[in-house]
Amino acid sequence: MLDINIISYGLGSIGCQIAKFILEKEGLKIVGAIDVAKEKIGKNLSSVLELEKQLEISVSGNAEALFSNIGADLVIHATSSRLEEVYHQILGCLKAGLNVISTCEELSFPYSKHPSIASELDRQAKAKGVTILGTGINPGFLMDTLPIMLTSPCKEVKNIKVRRVMFSGNRRDSYQRKIGTSLSQDVFRKMINDEKITGHVGLFESISMIAAALRWKLSNIEVLPPEPIISENEVKTTCMTIKPGQVAGLKSVAYGLKGKEKVITLEFISHANVKRPYDEISIRGVPNIRQKIIGGIHGDIGTIAMAVNAIPKIMNAKPGLVTMIDLPILSATLHDMREHVKWRK
Amino acid sequence: MLDINIISYGLGSIGCQIAKFILEKEGLKIVGAIDVAKEKIGKNLSSVLELEKQLEISVSGNAEALFSNIGADLVIHATSSRLEEVYHQILGCLKAGLNVISTCEELSFPYSKHPSIASELDRQAKAKGVTILGTGINPGFLMDTLPIMLTSPCKEVKNIKVRRVMFSGNRRDSYQRKIGTSLSQDVFRKMINDEKITGHVGLFESISMIAAALRWKLSNIEVLPPEPIISENEVKTTCMTIKPGQVAGLKSVAYGLKGKEKVITLEFISHANVKRPYDEISIRGVPNIRQKIIGGIHGDIGTIAMAVNAIPKIMNAKPGLVTMIDLPILSATLHDMREHVKWRK
């Protein structure tokens, strides 16, 4: 049986971790790698991934050229959160006849914010007979797929609240910077105003996905600007020291509204002072359901696993743009990945 | 737009509650009802359901005759837990070209225990272009679909433990009797030996489903005989009084084994002394995941909701026998049920 041939598109922190995980998995093979960073282009993939084992792959800066030289089954795409920024990259993959799984947050449910991009991606994927999915731990699981699925034993649902409380102090450096760690309050607020800190990207998409699944016609989706969480103590993280009065992290809140009623509330809280991380879902309905993941789920590991565990579902899916509510439930893909695929080619 | 026409097959406690829920739902219409009980046959459905509103449906004792007289889209089937007992009923529905959703526990994942029945049902459904699903809260959700889905952010899974701790004191009379409530220990053990008390039906199927999703090749599935939970105090339930030393309920345990290693452990605990019901899933892997539904989920309401919420997924599914891991994730089906269906006829 042939391996499932993968191209790694994007070798930032998440892209590199995904590539390393793919290299560990039986039945998967990396046949190409793409990044835009000049310092990575031309390098051997193993040195970018900081692996001892040499790989026979050098990082390409030209996706189109790579696609025309190398046959593959699927692209794992991890470059940016914003669909407008990555749209042309993904379209290039589809035009080359490649399935795509992307960690682009705005691709997880793009129909509300980017309807024309969504329909163009869907059209192109169908034309080429391939499938495209945006997924990750959040959006993709904790604040949308999981709460949606938890409504399935409900006769009625009045409202849904989801809260993610994360410990950020052991996350990657770029993540800690992204949430404003160790900034002063003033600088934090200025960076919010200048949109240099955006908070968690995906709350809008998660709310859209929940509403679509439940057929709730929302009058509005309100994403509030992130609020700083100020540290009272000195805190050392893996890469910085937060002084009292400085920012330990942030809180992002968003609402799905029917008139004035908040039928969906998502709260994303991530800072270096969190002692007991958790993910909690509260459904008010018949019956009420209160669910908690004690200790939470590590964001990077979760996103890497979701992206790779989605591979067989995408290989088996009907062509077009799909979201997590179109697919059969994902699971861990243990043993040989090829056993999870019903080959359609 | 036409209603989705439903036949209610089985008017026991769960069947009646499902029928009542269907009557409340926009876009669904009950067009026929079937039961084997002589005291129900010929009666108006509204009197069997104890409704004030009169319905123009009388309960039939002859499924074949009903199917040949009445066109419908789907049968909701709720008669018995054992597939061998209900197999001919379900086959009759399929032969009449009707989609089927059944609460039959052994249908939730029938491939391991009843492979020949499973393949005959699949063959017949495909021949008629209809779909058949077994579902409910458990099996169907709490001990299989949900733990499977919770492995999707995992890179590795070593083992899975699921524990359901239920308060039985407010459940229907037949349920309280089924778990041995207020029996003496001796009578309980005799009834276990005589297979008059079987414990929870579905642990075998839930383990089979988890193993299938994760591609775990189990060497054995071990379902232990139920153990009585003895009450220390006098307890009054909705329909009986338990004296000290009598049975308050039971505990059923089952294992999915790889050699001597218990990779799946399911514990089902249901008795009248439970103060804090919960459902808990513990996944040992990368990462570890510990999830808890605080307060648990009421079994009857959950099963009723799952069966009805599955309707659009079954109307949209490919023909054949399907299980919960083949379908897109379920959710509550709010508003008009027809909005959730992509009509294929």
Could you tell me if B344 lies within 8 Å of chain A, comparing CB atoms? no
Q: Give the 3-state secondary structure of residue B56.
A: coil
Distance CA A286, CA A326 (A): 25
Nearest by CB to B152, which of A216, A291, A330?
A: A330
Q: Which domain holds residue A211?
A: 145-296
Residues A288, A196, single domain; the answer is yes
Interface touch B293/A293, C-beta < 8 Å:
no
Q: Which residues touch A283 (CB under 8 Å, ≥6 apart)?
A: A147, A150, A151, A154, A157, A159, A160, A289, A290
Residues B8, B127, single domain; the answer is yes
Question: What values do phi and psi take at B339, rounded to 5?
Answer: -65, -20
The residue of A158, A286, A334, A338 whose CB has the most chain B CBs within 10 angstroms, and thus the best one to mutate to test that interface, is: A334
Could you tell me if A340 lies within 8 Å of chain B, comparing CB atoms? yes
Give the DSSP letter string of A1-57.
-PPEEEEEE--SHHHHHHHHHHHHSTTEEEEEEE---TTTTTSBHHHHTT-SS--S-
292-321 of A, contacting B, C-beta below 8 A: 292-295, 297-298, 301-306, 308-309
Q: Which residue has the higher pLDDT, A195 or B32?
A: B32
Residues A254, A328, single domain; the answer is no
Residue A198 predicted with pLDDT over 50: yes
**A283 half-sphere exposure, CB direction, 13 A CA radius:** 29
pLDDT band at B343 (very low <50, low <70, confident <90, very high): low
Distance CA B317, CA B308 (A): 15
Identify whether A119 is part of a domain: yes
* Run of H or E including A92: helix A83-95
Any idea what the CATH number is for the domain that residue B82 is in? 3.40.50.720
Q: How many CB pairs under 8 A join A and B?
A: 153
Residue A332 burial (10 A CB sphere; 0-12, 13-18, 19+): buried
Residue A116 burial (10 A CB sphere; 0-12, 13-18, 19+): exposed
Q: Which two tokens stand for residue A220?
A: 């509005």
For residue A214, CA distances in Å to A142, A284, A321, B208, B244 come to 17, 14, 20, 30, 47
Question: What end-to-end distance do the CA atoms of chain B give, in Å?
Answer: 12
pLDDT tens-digit map of B192-241: 999 888 888 999 999 999 999 999 999 999 999 999 999 999 999 999 99
Distance CA B2, CA B181 (A): 46
- pLDDT, mean of residues B271-300: 97
Q: Which two tokens stand for residue B155?
A: 């890179």
Interface touch B304/A154, C-beta < 8 Å:
no
Distance CA B54, CA B70 (A): 19
Q: What is the DSSP letter of B275?
A: S
For residue A280, the distance in angstroms to the closest alpha carbon of chain B comes to 9
Nearest by CB to A149, which of B293, B325, B330?
A: B330
Distance of CA A128 to the CA centre of its chain: 25
pLDDT band at A344 (very low <50, low <70, confident <90, very high): very low
Residues A258, A334, single domain; the answer is no
Any idea what the CATH number is for the domain that residue B250 is in? 3.30.360
pLDDT tens-digit map of A94-120: 999 999 999 999 999 999 999 999 999
pLDDT tens-digit map of B122-162: 999 999 999 999 999 999 999 999 999 999 999 999 999 99
Question: Considering only alpha carbons, which residue of chain B is nearest residue A338?
Answer: B215
All residues of chain B having their beta carbon less than 8 Å from the beta carbon of residue A215 are 333-336, 339-340
Interface touch B328/A325, C-beta < 8 Å:
yes
All residues of chain A having their beta carbon less than 8 Å from the beta carbon of residue B149 are 145-146, 149, 329-331
Q: Which residues touch A213 (CB under 8 Å, ≥6 apart)?
A: A148, A151, A325, B329, B331
Residues B57, B189, single domain; the answer is no
Residue A72 burial (10 A CB sphere; 0-12, 13-18, 19+): buried
Identify whether A39 is part of a domain: yes
**Above pLDDT 70, what percent of chain A?**
99
Distance CA B56, CA B51 (A): 12
5-34 of A, contacting B, C-beta below 8 A: 21
Question: What end-to-end distance do the CA atoms of chain A give, in Å?
Answer: 12
All residues of chain B having their beta carbon less than 8 Å from the beta carbon of residue A152 are 141, 305-306, 309, 329-332
Report pLDDT for B345: 41
Query: Which of B2, B6, B92 lies closest to B55 in space, CA to CA?
Result: B6
Nearest by CB to B293, which of A213, A290, A301?
A: A290
Could you tell me if B224 lies within 8 Å of chain A, comparing CB atoms? no
Distance CA B305, CA B302 (A): 5
**B99 half-sphere exposure, CB direction, 13 A CA radius:** 25
Nearest by CB to A326, which of B293, B294, B328?
A: B328
Interface touch B297/A289, C-beta < 8 Å:
yes
- pLDDT, mean of residues B291-318: 96
Domain count, chain A: 2
Identify whether B313 is part of a domain: yes
Distance of CA B32 to the CA centre of its chain: 22
Distance CA A143, CA A124 (A): 29
Residue A345 predicted with pLDDT over 70: no
0.80 exceeded by the pTM?
yes
Q: What is the DSSP letter of B78?
A: -
Report pLDDT for A343: 59
Question: Is A144:A209 a contact under the CB 8 Å cutoff?
Answer: yes
Distance CA A51, CA A30 (A): 14
Query: Which of A203, A160, A264, A211 lies closest to B339 in space, CA to CA?
Result: A211
For residue B286, the distance in angstroms to the closest alpha carbon of chain A comes to 8
Identify whether A291 is part of a domain: yes
Output the average pLDDT for chain A.
Answer: 95
Interface touch B157/A291, C-beta < 8 Å:
no
Question: Considering only alpha carbons, which residue of chain B is nearest residue A136?
Answer: B153
Distance CA A300, CA A15 (A): 10
All residues of chain B having their beta carbon less than 8 Å from the beta carbon of residue A289 are 293, 297
Question: Considering only alpha carbons, which residue of chain B is nearest residue A285?
Answer: B332
Query: Which of B221, B199, B207 lies closest to B144 in space, CA to CA?
Result: B207
Residues A34, A48, single domain; the answer is yes
Question: Is A325:A317 a contact under the CB 8 Å cutoff?
Answer: no
pLDDT tens-digit map of A118-172: 999 999 999 999 999 999 999 999 999 999 999 999 999 999 999 999 999 988 8
All residues of chain B having their beta carbon less than 8 Å from the beta carbon of residue A306 are 152-153
For residue A84, the distance in angstroms to the closest alpha carbon of chain B comes to 27
Question: Is A189:A230 a contact under the CB 8 Å cutoff?
Answer: no
Residues B240, B313, single domain; the answer is no
Question: Residue A267 CB: number of other CB atoms within 10 A?
Answer: 18
Residues B68, B162, single domain; the answer is no
Residues B77, B124, single domain; the answer is yes
Identify whether A207 is part of a domain: yes
Question: Is A83:A104 a contact under the CB 8 Å cutoff?
Answer: yes
The residue of B331, B337, B340, B341 whose CB has the most chain A CBs within 10 angstroms, and thus the best one to mutate to test that interface, is: B331
Interface touch B295/A288, C-beta < 8 Å:
yes
Could you tell me if B254 lies within 8 Å of chain A, comparing CB atoms? no
Distance CA B219, CA A168 (A): 42
Query: Which of A51, A43, A41, A44 lies closest to A20 in space, CA to CA?
Result: A51
Q: Which residues touch B274 (CB under 8 Å, ≥6 apart)?
A: B165, B166, B167, B168, B249
Identify whether B345 is part of a domain: no
Nearest by CB to B149, which of A331, A334, A339?
A: A331
All residues of chain B having their beta carbon less than 8 Å from the beta carbon of residue A154 are 305, 309, 332
Interface touch B309/A339, C-beta < 8 Å:
no
Q: Give the 3-state secondary structure of residue A75.
A: strand
How many residues does this entry show for chain B? Answer: 345
Residues B102, B115, single domain; the answer is yes
Distance CA A148, CA B169 (A): 30
Q: What is the DSSP letter of B272?
A: T
Distance CA A245, CA B264 (A): 48
Could you tell me if A158 lies within 8 Å of chain B, comparing CB atoms? no
pLDDT tens-digit map of A163-190: 999 999 988 888 899 899 999 999 999 9
For residue A145, the distance in angstroms to the closest alpha carbon of chain B comes to 8
pLDDT tens-digit map of B243-253: 999 999 999 99
Interface touch A292/B291, C-beta < 8 Å:
yes
Interface touch B155/A332, C-beta < 8 Å:
yes
Identify whether A345 is part of a domain: no
Residues A313, A225, single domain; the answer is no
Residues A84, A122, single domain; the answer is yes
**A102 — alpha (psi -120 to 50), left (phi > 0) or beta?**
beta
Distance CA B169, CA B270 (A): 9
Q: What is the gyration radius of the CA atoms in chain B, in angstroms? A: 20
